[in-house]
A and B are shown apart, each in its own frame.
Chain A
Amino acid sequence: MLSFNFTSVLQIMNFIILMVLLTKYLYKPFLNMMDERKNKIASDLSKAEEFRKNAEVYREEMRKELERAREEARRIIESAAERAKRFEEEQKNKAKLEAVKMIDDAKREIEKEREKAFQSVRSEAVSIAILLVKRILGEQIDIEVKRRYLEDVMKELNK
């Protein structure tokens, strides 16, 4: 049963052949793969760390940029509002001036009209008065004298 024989020599040869072939096909590729994977993971991790740091920097920059943009926007809005206000004011003033001018014009016109009307009324009144006087006094008094007299009366009345 414990037959120890030439098989042992063949088994040793088998083992050596197996070891050589498996070293070539299995162990070396396996160890190389392990190393490769290890290196890749390490490099990937360090790269990721680098990227993270860069991202941090970029984010900070971005934040500043955004802050600046916001500031700028606020300033623009403020200035726009100011300008709008000024424009409004100007327009208002202009309108006011115009209105005042228009009112003045109208007043002057009215005054002129009134003057004109007054003038016509007065001359009309003078004529009527002369007519009346002529009727009352007859044709005795000189027309020129009468006119001068009436005009004096009128001046008296105007005061």
Chain B
Amino acid sequence: MAKKRRLSRFGWFLIIYMVVYVVIAYFAIKTMEPLTGVGNRWIIHFGRFFFWAVNPMTLIMSWALMALLIFIGYRYKKKQKLIPDRKQSLIEWILSFIYHDMVEGAFEDKEFARKTVFPFAATLMLFVTFSNILGGIPGVQTAVEHDHLKSFTLFQDTWYSPTSDLNTNLTYALMVLFVAHGLAIKRKGFKRYLKSYIEPFIFMLPLNIIGEFSKVISHSFRLFGNIAGGGILVLVLSYMVKYFILPVALWGFFGFFVGIVQAMVYSMLAVAYISVQTEG
């Protein structure tokens, strides 16, 4: 029995987005400039020291994502029902995946997993996933010359992922480190926490310390390399084939597939690090 189905608002949005994309891309290819400054970022300095600067694109996209996620959450809470509809099922499936498959199994204390680790890991997972997926959707980019904004271009590259900025990845990795150790101290006590550094014997102390720091580096650079590198690779390849079909496949692969896998790896590792510190 064929069910007549109306196109949803999201479906219309996708169709309009694609039509606009094709029209603009058609004209954009004619006026395409040589590719320069790939991977450069728009940076606004407000001090002499290198630290006193911000990456506006990272912040704008982060805030957009936050707004989206909070909007979804707000709608979810408002329309929550015991018997879920399709959207609620999807949201609950994702959260249930994070809670039941990633967090719950890693901790003995279910209350701790539920109250403390789950919000942390889920926020990390959702933010990183959505941010990575942005790398698969054509959108607005900035053309940059010497840290300064030259122009906006439409649909020549994907939206900017906050996770392709090391500011995001490294800080989140450091945050995971601090959270893991903080929770370990809180749950195990300072003495037992310190003792975990000289296990199995005292000569392992330097290795343990190096291990902890290398965790941060591998954790953050893995995601950064995948997303930023993938983005640049796709941009260059797209330019080389004059945006002929191939970019679609590449955006799908690097944006959605690699993006989701890396987001899962990132948040799973975060959970694993916290679990190792607090349970061990």
Contact = CB atoms under 8 A, between A and B. Distances in A.
Interface of A: 1-12, 14-15, 17-19, 21-27, 29-31, 33-34, 36-37, 40
A27 B73 CA distance: 8
22 contacts: A3-B50, A3-B53, A3-B167, A5-B54, A6-B53, A7-B59, A11-B62, A11-B167, A15-B127, A17-B66, A18-B69, A19-B119, A19-B120, A21-B73, A22-B73, A22-B119, A22-B122, A26-B69, A30-B95, A31-B114, A33-B80, A34-B99
Contact of A14 (B66, B92, B114, B126): B66
A43 to B, nearest CB: 13
B272 interface: no
Contacts of A37: 82
A15 B59 contact: no
Given A4-B170, A27-B95, A18 B59 contact: no
Interface string B64-78: 001001101110110
A55 B32 CA distance: 78
B118 A27 contact: yes
Interface of B: 39-41, 43, 50-55, 58-59, 62-63, 66, 69-70, 72-74, 76-77, 80, 82, 91-92, 95-96, 99, 114, 118-120, 122-124, 126-127, 162, 165-168, 170-172, 175
B41 A3 contact: yes
A7 B55 contact: yes
A14 B63 contact: yes
A14 B172 CA distance: 11
Given A4-B170, A7-B54, A12-B171, A25 B118 contact: no
B123 A15 contact: yes
B139 to A, nearest CB: 20
A12 B41 CA distance: 20
Contact of B175 (A10, A12, A23, A27): A12
The residue in B74, B119, B162, B175 that gathers the most chain A C-beta atoms within 10 A of its C-beta is B119
Given A6-B53, A8-B167, A18-B69, A30 B126 contact: no
Given A5-B43, A11-B162, A15-B175, A22 B170 contact: no
Contacts of B167: 3-5, 7-8, 11
A65 B96 CA distance: 51
Contact of A26 (B50, B54, B66, B76): B76
A18 B122 contact: no
A7 B165 contact: yes
A23 B119 contact: yes
B82 A15 contact: no
A40 B82 CA distance: 9
Contact of A30 (B43, B53, B92): B92
A8 B55 CA distance: 9
A77 B64 CA distance: 87
A110 B124 CA distance: 129
Nearest to B81: A33
B122 A27 contact: yes
Nearest to A2: B166
A43 B23 CA distance: 58
Nearest to B63: A14
A104 B162 CA distance: 130
Nearest to B76: A26
Nearest to B84: A33
A150 B54 CA distance: 175
Given A15-B175, A33-B82, A5 B119 contact: no
